Structure 1
């Protein structure tokens, strides 16, 4: 399915609503019931015969789970001003957010943790992230650092990832789901780029657990030893700002006692 283009101001709001509804695989009837409008009115909006109110555009964006950035595009396409701000992370109003993020990063030591934006660019990381960067080409650590390129590129972490095929499948699966959810062409282009990187290991099409597996680990060669990690991803629960909505915090934990001991020793 074609991703909605990021040019809502030059396209009709009805076309954009229909694309997002198709992307979410929701019928007109189901969306009209959820948004508490008539199916006839929704049909008129999608065909351009009716101009939705600002409140209706926001309601449709909510029930279609459209990202805040793209909800602004819907509003512009309907002739309204954007509703959601996009603040700089260094802005005074984001001070509490910065403090919370840095508290999470520092509190997670001696284990690695990173803050990422929507396009997988590194916003911030704690000091333990340095163990992931040993031997990585300086070109891949130049700002902005895209952590997917950094991980899967042959000049990046890839030579040190012992289960590269498995971890690659995991990351590409996450990126593929994000491309579908956001409609951002950048995700689709990045996915194609990453698929072109060489990988000598078999890359599973579907993540199927083996005996005893409960998650996909990252197995890393480090100083002649093998480290094993699993990760969790956290987001802000009630974002009303685009920057905040697009931030995620990925925290890595040791997947075995040997990894935990080594990380504590490094600290």
Structure 2
């Protein structure tokens, strides 16, 4: 049996891809990296080979995610420098402790942690409301929070302002796919965009009223309507792949009735 050929990635192609994704010219990148535009051109065409320090500098200026910085280093002939561990790894104790504290401290309101693909990593008990009555197949690991949010048999069928929320989430997902270079997000976007909701006009545009501050999620929950908005937090100085991709989404009551229902 013959050996399986492994296709190597060219550093220049990857660099050009990230530069174009960030809509940065060779000249602008050269100025930020304190090199000549000619050198950037030579790196992209393969006529010059970067040092490890130059790879790190360019990746920093282009805000390349840590996972892809490792790919750039490997393509340039260097070993990856950013470790990747499971959330449950012993070395991640301080991270888990921080996440558990935030989740518990946000009760009685829902809070959850997701990874780069919007798969559920952890949640507090209040977040169980989002999974009530959801088909078992949608709760198989990994549970995808975006899929739960828009699937017609999950939250998508309970959102009273589905058109507005759907437009916002799909826009966010598309931008994340473009900025991160993560093909999983592009596939997820296309899947969610294909969902159909009989009798729902998805072309309704949300025009904020004079008293509006945030676009709430208006969710039918039993005989109540819960109105909530969310905040998203990330770790400030990650140098590990998994930590850099974690996000904590916390849900807050948008009116007194919703706050009272959770209390």
RMSD of aligned residue pairs (Cα, Å):
1.5
Unaligned runs of 5+ in 1: 1-7
**1:252–1:45 CA distance, 2 compared to 1 (3 A):** same
Change in 2 beyond 3 A, CA 1:201/1:22: same
Shift, 1:43, TM fit:
0.8
Q: Is the 8 A contact 1:169 1:207 kept in 2?
A: no
Q: TM-score, normalised by structure 2?
A: 0.94
Q: Secondary structure at the match of 1:124?
A: strand
* Partner SS for 2:108: coil
Alpha-carbon distance between aligned partners in 2 of 1:181 and 1:203, rounded to the nearest angstrom: 26
Deviation readout 1:125-162 (Å, 9 max, x if unpaired): 00001111221111111111001111111121211111
**Are 1:255 and 2:257 matched, yes or no?**
no
Q: Which residue of the partner structure matches residue 195 of structure 1?
A: 193
Alpha-carbon distance in 1 for matches of 2:95, 2:141: 22
SS of the counterpart of 2:250? strand
CA distance in 2, matches of 1:159, 1:188: 23
Instruction: Trace 1:1-267 onto structure 2 (pairs within 5 A).
Output: 10-199=8-197, 200-204=199-203, 208-264=207-263
Q: Distance in 1 between matches of 2:156 and 2:104?
A: 26
Q: What's the secondary structure of 1:10's corresponding residue?
A: coil
**Between Structure 1 and Structure 2, how many residues are aligned?**
257
Cα distance in 2 for partners of 1:206, 1:177 equals 19
In structure 2, runs of 5+ residues without a counterpart are 1-5
> Offset at 1:93?
1.4
Residue 179 of structure 1 aligns to a residue in which SS? Answer: helix
Displacement of 1:226 after TM fit? 0.6
SS at structure 1 position matched to 2:166: helix
Once the two structures are TM-superposed, the CA of residue 94 in structure 1 deviates from its matched residue by: 0.8
Separation in structure 2 between the aligned mates of residue 56 and residue 201 of structure 1, nearest angstrom: 52
Distance in 2 between the 1:186 and 1:164 partners?
Answer: 23
Name 1:3's counterpart in structure 2.
none
Within 2, Cα distance between the matches of 1:61 and 1:207?
38
Residue 202 of structure 1 deviates from its aligned partner by 3.2
Cα contact 2:115–2:246 (8 A) shared by 1: yes
Instruction: Select between 85-94 and 253-262 the one with higher mean Cα deviation.
Output: 85-94
| Rounded Cα–Cα distance in structure 2 between residues aligned with 1:55 and 1:227 | 51
User: Which whole-Å deviations, capped at 9, do the CAs of 1:86-114 have from their partners, x for residues lacking one?
Assistant: 01111121101100100000000000000
Deviation at 1:205, TM superposition (A): 8.4
Check conservation: 2:163, 2:204, Cα contact below 8 A. Answer: no
Give the superposition deviation at 1:204: 4.9
